[in-house]
Amino acid sequence: MKLVGIIAVLCSATISFAQDASSTKPISDDQLRTTGGHSEITNDGLRLSDSLVLNPKFALEGGYTSNVFFQDRDEVGAGIVRAMVALELATPDQNGDNDSGPENYKLRAGLQAAWDQYLTSNQFARDQSDISINGNVGLVLFPKSDLSLVLQENYARNASPTNFVSGTSLARHQNALGARLRYRPNQGPLSFAVGYQNVIDDFVSTNSDFASRIQHGLGARVDWEFLPFSTVFLDATYGFYSGLGSFSQKRNNQPLRVRLGIQAPLTESFALGGYVGYGRVQYDGGGSSFNGILGGVSAKYRYTETGALSLSYNYGFEDSVNADLHVDHNISATLRQQIERVVIDANGSFIFRNYSGILPQIGAPSRDDVILGGTLRVHYIVRDWMAVSARLNYSNVATNYLAQGDDPSFSRIDLIAGVAMSY
């Protein structure tokens, strides 16, 4: 049986703007964002009370994907139609009005359902049509007090095609639950935080449930704001990771990461950030290991009141669904430019990735990939409650790895256009 490859390429990024434009009102990331691959616009909403606002949302998109099954040859292309409905409940300050809303809590909760329908004469490609669900709750208790509590819950049900022609998809349930307690004495420059996170990643298909996993993580962090908007931080995380279910073949492991970093603006338009740290993990049963330096650097240049460019590099390791772990050199860039009611978002990433600890029945224990991904989005804000958009996604994975004669390399282009509306 061919390798069931599960490859995720991060193709979205967020740039925040805190200033007002003299000629153009900036469109914030809260007003225009992408959730679950779908564009969303947020309007004033329906005021339920002094402390709660409801935002109903709808989006309809259509387009074409060049490679439904992520194949290296004999690609199957298809048209696609997507319909999305969502509800978001939030305190008024979550939509940009910091002077309104309750004093003792901040809330944002949302539920989104989207249907993807493939339009093609290929029956296997049509069988990939499915529904995805995203839900989230974020609650901050006593946000203006010295002691505050952050609670987060995120759930996603996704179904993506396999990387070989099949009538079944890689359906998975992902749930992340987190809590963080933060103490900032007298609202001063020092703050301390401790937290816990639980992540469940459950693959439904019997062809991929070997990768199901559960992760528990503990964390602590200290921040020192030595100048306005300039922060030095020290954080540490320790995890307890294991397989989920009787068919999972994930090895137990306990990853440790410690980082020391800084985030600081050098001028009003240019900011730098970076960190250096140490990471260690050993997988049970003679599995893979990592023991070494972690690091990253980022830069952001705001070249106009409504335009910004960000660059970053990160080196580190992550638990993998294809293997024990993967180690990445990740170079990425993001650009946002607003021209009147037109917002242009572009981002790209270039990743050198090494997998280690691949299961023997799949193939050789290690694998090297070069991953290239990028997205160009153009939005036109027709009204405060409606936007039309078009986007071009490109992803490419190149590897010399073979698993039972199958090459997991692929190239894929998606061209999507649509309209998003909000009450």
Task: Write down the pLDDT at residue 93.
Answer: 64
Alpha-carbon distance of 168 to 150, in angstroms, equals 38
Sequence-ordered list of residues with C-beta below 8 angstroms from that of 147, at least 6 positions apart, any chain: 181, 182, 183
Alpha-carbon distance of 409 to 266, in angstroms, equals 42
CB 234 within 8 A of CB 278: no
Residue 296: closest CA among 271, 327, 273: 273
Alpha-carbon distance of 31 to 112, in angstroms, equals 16
CB 310 within 8 A of CB 334: yes
Cβ burial of 291 (10 Å; 0-12, 13-18, 19+) is exposed
Whole-prediction pTM = 0.87
Residue 30: closest CA among 47, 15, 50: 15
Which residue type sits at 405? G
Which residue type sits at 389? S
What is the dihedral sign for C-alpha 140, 91, 377, 163?
positive
Residue 238: closest CA among 213, 219, 259: 219
Alpha-carbon distance of 148 to 138, in angstroms, equals 13
Which residue type sits at 284? D
Task: Write down the pLDDT at residue 403.
Answer: 80
Task: Write down the pLDDT at residue 95.
Answer: 46
Q: What angle do CA 94, 98, 101 make, to 5 degrees?
A: 70
Q: Is 323 helix (H, G, I), strand (E, B) or coil?
A: coil
Which domains occur in the chain, in start order? Answer: 32-422 (2.40.160)
Which residue type sits at 339? I
CB 14 within 8 A of CB 34: no
Residue 290: closest CA among 327, 323, 330, 240: 327
Find tokens 């790895």 and name the residue. 401
Residue 377: closest CA among 412, 411, 342: 342
Task: Write down the pLDDT at residue 33.
Answer: 65
Task: Write down the pLDDT at residue 361.
Answer: 80
3-state secondary structure 235-286: EEEEEEEEECCCCCCCCCECCEEEEEEEEEECCCCEEEEEEEEEEEEECCCC
* Tens-digit pLDDT string for the chain (423 aa): 333 333 332 233 332 323 333 345 666 666 676 665 556 677 788 999 989 999 999 999 999 999 999 999 999 999 999 999 999 999 986 544 445 668 899 999 999 999 999 999 999 999 999 999 999 999 999 999 999 999 999 999 988 887 777 666 788 999 999 999 999 999 999 999 999 999 999 998 877 889 999 999 999 999 999 998 999 999 999 999 999 999 999 999 999 999 999 999 999 999 999 999 999 999 999 899 999 999 999 999 999 999 999 999 999 999 999 899 999 999 999 999 999 999 999 999 999 999 999 988 888 999 999 999 999 999 999 988 999 999 999 999 999 898 877 899 999 999 999 999 998
Per-residue DSSP letter, 21: P
Task: Write down the pLDDT at residue 220.
Answer: 98
